[in-house]
Structure 1
Amino acid sequence: MKFVIQKDKLVQSVQDVMKAVSSRTTIPILTGIKIVAHSEGVTLTGSDSDISIESFIPSEEDDKENVEVIQAGSVVLQAKFFSEIVKKLPKDIVEIEVGNHHSTTIRSGKAEFSLNGLDAEEYPHLPQIEEENIFKIPTDLLKAMVRQTVFAVSTSETRPILTGVNWKLENGELICIATDSHRLALRKAMIDSENLETYNVVIPGKSLSELSKILDDTNELIEIVITENQVLFKAKNLLFFSRLLDGNYPDTSRLIPADSKTNLTLNSKDFLQAIDRASLLAKEARNNVVKLSTFTDGLIEISSNSPEIGKVSEEIQAEEVQGEELKISFSAKYVMDALKALEGTEINVNFTGAMRPFVIKTTNDDSMLQLILPVRTY
């Protein structure tokens, strides 16, 4: 194998596939990046067997030559060393050549590295996915849906299913739900589905976070293919495979209250900053708990009390307060995460009592919802 390639294209592709390479794998060859040169260009693959990423660098793109393949072939190189080498090469052009016993030479300018490679035939094959049922979604919408839900997945392995985001597709509507059993994030959107298949799958939160980092903020459509145990995201020159989590996601619809007893309309930024300030003293104490109290004249008090450190209270003026007076305690971090995920300056917070979950939504927008369980403080 021998090819000459633009350094910036190679660096970008290596960075993308590195997101799937793990140093802690039971299959030694997966600590490497698979490189295949063929007539159309060069394909790089990284995998940890949960996530696999394939990045393709076409020979020519937009009338510019990226790669000249002199001899087709393949090799697997140690990801850690190869990625560091490529980043630090001196010139814009890189030549990669594989000799006997997979020994690989990397040249750029006056620098020459020699790396011991492995046989690419030993590298596990990517899942073969029948692309019958494809649905498409603009890349920036996908990234927004991930950002607005993935933070609420569980980080504990006691219930593995909760470490993923539940994706449900029916009647052309995609609903994404994440919960760690203390809070829940929901985002829905209408999408372009060629057939009216229905899906109900759970995608690992880690996979979605990594996918989101690789994708550019464009409104180009990304194709999504779901099978029994895999999901494939197809963007331009990029394939991203992830395994799905086994098991049934809990039915969360019962958690979301249909009615409420106290409703607040607030400026999102003011509310977020007041909670942030109150949490300064709450961080050291138990569980970062902040208390909210409503008063009749539209004032809300955000307070926190840590006997060892001190206390803080701040009043903010709500745009509207309806219903019963209320005192409720909650995790400052959870509410701040929720507020950062919501878009818009004005939010509604709906309470059904001091011990019941409460809902935060953007005013006049039903596509997003954040639900948080209060904390008992006595």
Structure 2
Amino acid sequence: MKFEIMRHRLLEGLNDVMKAVSSKTTTPILTGIKLEVTEDGLRLTGSDSDITIQTFIKSEENGDQMIRVIEEGSIVVQARMFNEIIRKLPTSDVEIEVKENYHTHIHSGKSEFHIIGLEPSEYPLLPEIQDDRQFIMPADLLKSIVRETVFAVSPSESRPVLTGVHWQVKNGELVCVATDSHRLARRKVILVQLPEGEYSVVIPGKSLNELSKIIGDSSEPVYIAMTSQQVLFKTGNVLLYSRLLEGNYPDTSRLIPTEYKTTVSMNGKVLFQAIDRASLMAREERNNIVRLSSIEGNIVEISSSSPEIGEVEEEIQTTSIEGEEIKISFSAKYMMDALRALDGHDVIVQFTGAMRPFILNSVHDEGVLQLIVPVRTY
């Protein structure tokens, strides 16, 4: 195998596939990246067995030659070392040649590295995914779904299924839900080309975060295909395969109240900033608790106190308060995460009592819902 490639383009490809490589893997071959060169270009693959990312660099892109293939072939190289070498090479042209026993030579300018590669046939094959459950989503919509839900997955592995986001397709609608049992984030979206039938999968939060980074500022549509064990996201020349989480996701629809005793409409950014200030006092306490109380004249008071430091109170003018008086305590972090997901829009907060979960919606978009379980403070 022998080819020449533009260094900047190789680095872009490595940047994508390195996201899937883990130093903690117990399978030695997975500490490597697989390189496959054909006349058409270079295919790079990285995997930790849960996530696999593959990218393809065409020999010619937009009329510019990126790769000159001298001899086709494949090799697995140690990922982190290879990435560091390419990053630090002195010129924009790189020549890579594989000789006997997978001895790999990397040449750029007057710099030459010799590394030992691994047998490419030992690298795991990509999962086979049929096209019958395939649909397309705009890149910006997919990124917003990830941003509005993935923060609420559980960080604890004690219930692995809660470390993922539940995607359910039903009646032409995609419903994405994440919960750690103390809060819940839900996004509903109607898509034109959803496959018929009902099905649901749980996608690891980590996979969705990596997908969001790969999409970046791209405006290309994302192709999504699902099986019972894998999901594939394809954008541009990048493929991301993710293992799905096993187990039954809890029925979260029962957690969401259908009747409310108090409804408050207000500016989400103003509420976020007030809670951010109140959390300065709350942060010293173990649970970071902030209180919200409704008072006369469409005003709510945000307050917090710490026995060792002091206390803070701030009044906020709301658009409207309807229903009963409310006094409720909650985690400042959870509330700020929820408001961040609603992106600073005007919000409607609906309460059913001091110890019942409450929900937040954007005034402009009913498809996004955030739910928080309050904290007992008395």
TM-score, with structure 2 as normaliser: 0.98
Matched with 2:245 is 245
Matched with 1:79 is 79
* Partner Cα separation in structure 1 for residue 186 and residue 72 of structure 2: 47
**1:2 aligned onto 2:2:** yes
Distance change in 2, residues 1:183/1:65 (3 Å): same
* Partner Cα separation in structure 1 for residue 260 and residue 242 of structure 2: 39
Matched with 1:234 is 234
Code of the residue aligned with 1:270 in structure 2: it is V
**Residue 66 (structure 1) shift:** 1.1
Matched with 2:20 is 20
* Partner Cα separation in structure 2 for residue 13 and residue 297 of structure 1: 58
Q: Which runs of 4+ in 1 moved over 4 A?
A: none
Matched with 1:107 is 107
* Partner Cα separation in structure 1 for residue 61 and residue 293 of structure 2: 60
* Partner Cα separation in structure 1 for residue 139 and residue 197 of structure 2: 21
CA deviation vs aligned residue, 1:52-87 (integer Å, no higher than 9, x gap):
000100111211111111100011111110111111
**1:353 aligned onto 2:353:** yes
Name the stretch that deviates more: 127-136 or 363-372.
127-136
Unaligned segments of structure 2, at least 5 residues: none
* Partner Cα separation in structure 1 for residue 3 and residue 173 of structure 2: 45
CA deviation vs aligned residue, 1:93-130 (integer Å, no higher than 9, x gap):
11111011101111111111111100101111111212
**Residue 221 (structure 1) shift:** 1.4
**Residue 344 (structure 1) shift:** 5.0
Unaligned segments of structure 1, at least 5 residues: none
8 A Cα contact 1:188 1:367, kept in partner: yes
**Residue 192 (structure 1) shift:** 3.2
1:1-378 alignment, distance < 5 Å: 1-193=1-193, 195-343=195-343, 345-378=345-378
8 A Cα contact 1:75 1:117, kept in partner: yes
Code of the residue aligned with 1:88 in structure 2: it is K
Code of the residue aligned with 1:241 in structure 2: it is Y
* Partner Cα separation in structure 1 for residue 64 and residue 148 of structure 2: 37
Distance change in 2, residues 1:336/1:194 (3 Å): closer
8 A Cα contact 2:11 2:86, kept in partner: yes
Residue-pair matches, total: 378
**Residue 194 (structure 1) shift:** 5.5
CA deviation vs aligned residue, 1:351-377 (integer Å, no higher than 9, x gap):
010000000110142110000000011
Give the share of equivalent positions with the same residue, in percent.
58
* Partner Cα separation in structure 2 for residue 373 and residue 345 of structure 1: 22
* Partner Cα separation in structure 2 for residue 343 and residue 218 of structure 1: 20
CA deviation vs aligned residue, 1:191-246 (integer Å, no higher than 9, x gap):
23263132211000011011111113233211111001000011111110000000
CA deviation vs aligned residue, 1:286-342 (integer Å, no higher than 9, x gap):
300000000121111100011111111111111111111111000000000000001
* Partner Cα separation in structure 2 for residue 327 and residue 366 of structure 1: 25
Code of the residue aligned with 2:343 in structure 1: it is E
SS at match of 2:259: coil
8 A Cα contact 2:269 2:344, kept in partner: no
* Partner Cα separation in structure 2 for residue 52 and residue 348 of structure 1: 40
TM-score, with structure 1 as normaliser: 0.98
CA RMSD of the aligned region, Å?
1.0
